[in-house]
Chain A
Amino acid sequence: MRALLLSLLLGAAVLPALAAAPTDPPTPPVPSTTDGLIAQPWYRPHHLIGQVAGGQGMVTVGVGYTTLRGRLDVDVLTGYVPRKYSITPMGIFTGKATYSPWTLGLGASRWQVRPLSVGGLVNYTASRGMNASLDGKYPKGYYWWPARSRAGAFVGGRVAYELPTKANGQPRTASLYYELGTNDLYLVSLYSNIKALSVADILTLGIGVKVDL
């Protein structure tokens, strides 16, 4: 009992703010190592992203957060498509969620595999030369879809390499991922042409890297 009291007092002594109330010290926050969200201000992203294609830009960079014990990534990305492949350059702003239920270690190596990911995204394309489809040029209901906003879905996978652990004990990886997906307008095209179009016709591929900070 005396030992416990002593340790409590010692603990209080290193927290000057609590020195005035040594008999009632609060429990210091215990870092959790299970959710990948430890001791880090909310605004500091967990990883950096670089990606090509996948309907999100020719060159795309982003940041993201990991939660649900490392299974869910929530990312925001900015992509660029040059004038050469557009009327005027396109800026594509994407919000994306990727759920990867399983992570498999490869023996004693530093490699890990996430064999399956499923995800969804929404994005907005800004480009001066792009013709808007829902603006004042048209009577209401003339076109039913927005030209600049797209929704997409994908399946994918990921291979990760464990980097040296951070000072606070949080694991870090660098990983390569792919997304095989499509978008709302392609899905509508397939749905109304079940016989004439195939799933292969509407697929897009994105490839990217994620590095934990």
Chain B
Amino acid sequence: MPHVSAFSFLSSWAGRGLGALLLTGLLGGCDLLEFSPNETRTPEEYRNLTRKNLDALAARPNPSRGDTLRFVFIGDSQRFYGEAEDFVRSVNQQPDVAFVLVAGDISDFGLVREMRWVDERLRKLRVPYLTVIGNHDHVANGRGAYEQVYGPLNYAFTYADTRFVLLDTNGREAGFNGTLPNIPWLESTLADTGGARRQIVVSHVPPFDGDFDPQLEQPYVEALARAPRLVFELNGHRHDFGVDYPYENNIPFINSYSFEKREYTLLTLWGDRGFRLDNISY
């Protein structure tokens, strides 16, 4: 009975196909079976990236000699995926880069899938990359998505005798309610240098921007002024490079290019306060 065998072949083929589809759907495809674009659920591969990148960084000896530290500084990757690919190709050709710093607005709409699209590209960097949360990463459930994909909104790490303090300064997202940025956290974190030679503060919105909580501008700047061994503050948000000295204490505020500008800053530090900025087109 040839038609029976043909039928059983077909059914087993279809059965296998359906089984494979279900397996892919249920195991690999949390991706496809999306409960909501605003869900914060993401596979382990895309979770706790700050912790994972800091571990990778700790395992890398400083590629520069002596007290020199070189890293790449850029911001606002939001919805510039092609640019992110070209950025990675360019940075991977730079010598002596220790890591890459992205000054917030990883996503445009605060969606977990966008953060993964960015990571899928930036994980191809030969060096670890670190981020700070931007205002766009606060939209909808973005804060929860950022915490899942990257990790804490305020954190600090030390590398090559340099302490980096990264914090959430997106005050407008909290309705300027006096809690963002967290001044007590900033003060206590900056006070304890852990013996590092230099300190650098990194945040998305600079304190002189209209999206910074105005009632916290003064306390924030005072906290920076009191901070021992502070070299400068790094910000994003304005989508363009710039070095400003807006306050009496002469702390430099360096702003990053956004990804769509196809330019990034190569930052080289030495000694207590020495630094050099090289802007690279890609």
Residues of chain B lying within 8 A (CB to CB) of residue A143: 139
Residues of chain A lying within 8 A (CB to CB) of residue B114: 189
Asked, given contacts A131-B110, A193-B81, A201-B117, whether A90 binds B36 with beta carbons under 8 Å apart, the answer is: yes
Interface size class of A (residues with CB under 8 A): 35 or more
Residues of chain B lying within 8 A (CB to CB) of residue A13: none
Residues of chain B lying within 8 A (CB to CB) of residue A197: 81, 117
Q: Is B33 an interface residue (CB 8 A)?
A: yes
Q: Is A172 an interface residue (CB 8 A)?
A: no
Complex Cα spacing A155 to B33, Å: 15
Interface size class of B (residues with CB under 8 A): 35 or more
Binds A, one of B37-45, B65-73, B191-199, B239-247: B37-45
CB contacts under 8 Å to B, within A4-32, are none
Asked whether B32 lies within 8 Å of A81 as measured between CB atoms, the reply is: no
| Consensus secondary structure, chain B interface | loop
Asked, given contacts A55-B37, A147-B140, whether A192 binds B79 with beta carbons under 8 Å apart, the answer is: yes
Residues of chain A lying within 8 A (CB to CB) of residue B110: 131, 147
Asked whether A81 lies within 8 Å of B35 as measured between CB atoms, the reply is: yes
Nearest residue, chain B, Cβ from A152: B37
Residues of chain A lying within 8 A (CB to CB) of residue B39: 81, 85-86, 90
Ordered by A's residue number, 30 sampled pairs between the chains whose C-beta atoms are within 8 Å are: A52-B33, A53-B32, A53-B34, A55-B35, A57-B35, A79-B36, A81-B38, A84-B41, A86-B36, A90-B141, A127-B141, A129-B141, A130-B140, A131-B139, A133-B140, A137-B172, A137-B173, A137-B175, A147-B109, A189-B79, A189-B81, A189-B114, A193-B81, A193-B82, A196-B82, A196-B84, A204-B33, A204-B34, A205-B32, A206-B33
